[in-house]
Structure 1
Amino acid sequence: MKKIGITFGDELTAAGLAGLSIGWGGDGAIAFGVDITAAQQAAVLAVYEAHNPDKSCRKTVMKAINVERDRRKSAGLNCGSKWYHSDADSRIQYLGLKDKARDLLAEGGAMTDPIKILGQSVQWKTMGGLFVNVTAQLAFDIVAAVGDLDAQLFTVAESHKVIMESSADPASYDFSGGWPQSFGE
């Protein structure tokens, strides 16, 4: 008897067998209710025979790796000596600041000039609580740091996926190492 992985219920649903009075344990034992017909029993057993518990385990670990990658995408980014927010809203705002920086440069400004909005120099609050003046250079640097962070996270996640896929025991694969540092680590 082979084990049953966590995707077995989804596989039954996909086969149109959801809602039947059956139960199963991780050890592979399947219990049928008294109302289950022989044809329904055969259909459930066919799903069981096609079920690959390692595949479902690999899918689960793959999802967990993606969750960790996505968590780290919004766990801050280091630019220079400061940490900046990296959530989706902040990323959009950084693109706006970079756009303002390009306008400033097109008007003859320098990379060291502050970006202004409504006539005021932009003060950006870092994750450490400090306010910094946003210059054209800083706007460009932050957007570049976002791209670098995304590339690093993608590379690490893909490396973990490859190693996990080749693991004899994917459920116990530890993918906690190798990630870029997040704020507070």
Structure 2
Amino acid sequence: MRIPNSEYTERPWRIHEFAQDFEVEDVWALPTPGGPDELARFVRGFTGDGDEENSGFVIRNLFRIRWTLGRTFGWDQEREGVGHRVRSVRDRLPADLREGPRGPDFVSLPFTAVYQTDTEYVAELANRTVHALMHIGWVPDGKGTYYAQMASLWKPNGLLGHAYRTGGKPLRRLFVYPQLLRAVGKNWPHYT
């Protein structure tokens, strides 16, 4: 379920130390009740090659349209990505995070891992429209269990980036994130 951005911004996450120039787009509580040490298991399953449930019919087709537009207009060319148009957020990390584990890259999305701790995982992507971060935090629920909190942070690239962000927000909120939450709820017990 979508939760207030303050649920992310008011927590003492390490990402706040070096990503102040990114805007918080959305924050979601994921259906992942678990123990205090289960973030790594969640991240492995979440970034892995999920089943078809992770990309239902509507989502698959939205992504097909998006990738087609990207190819047609050159949005996703390598020169527009991390390490080319933008420097990796990894270059900003304090030494302890840079020397620690990165965590896994996504198998089926163009996100690259930045860092992972016992309570946080961050991945990034960049293209001609945006430099985006996905932050997964492992949050105590006050009842003895924990859940994953996903925050989407954006730095739009010019007018195209702002238009893309604004135009895509309803699709992300109505279709992409709800489908993702359903898939996580179904698959979380089976993550290894």
Query: TM-score with structure 1 length normalisation?
Result: 0.21
Query: TM-score with structure 2 length normalisation?
Result: 0.21
Larger Rg: 1
Of structures 1 and 2, the one scoring higher in RCO (CA 8 A, sep 6+) is: 2
Higher strand share: 2
Higher helix share: 1
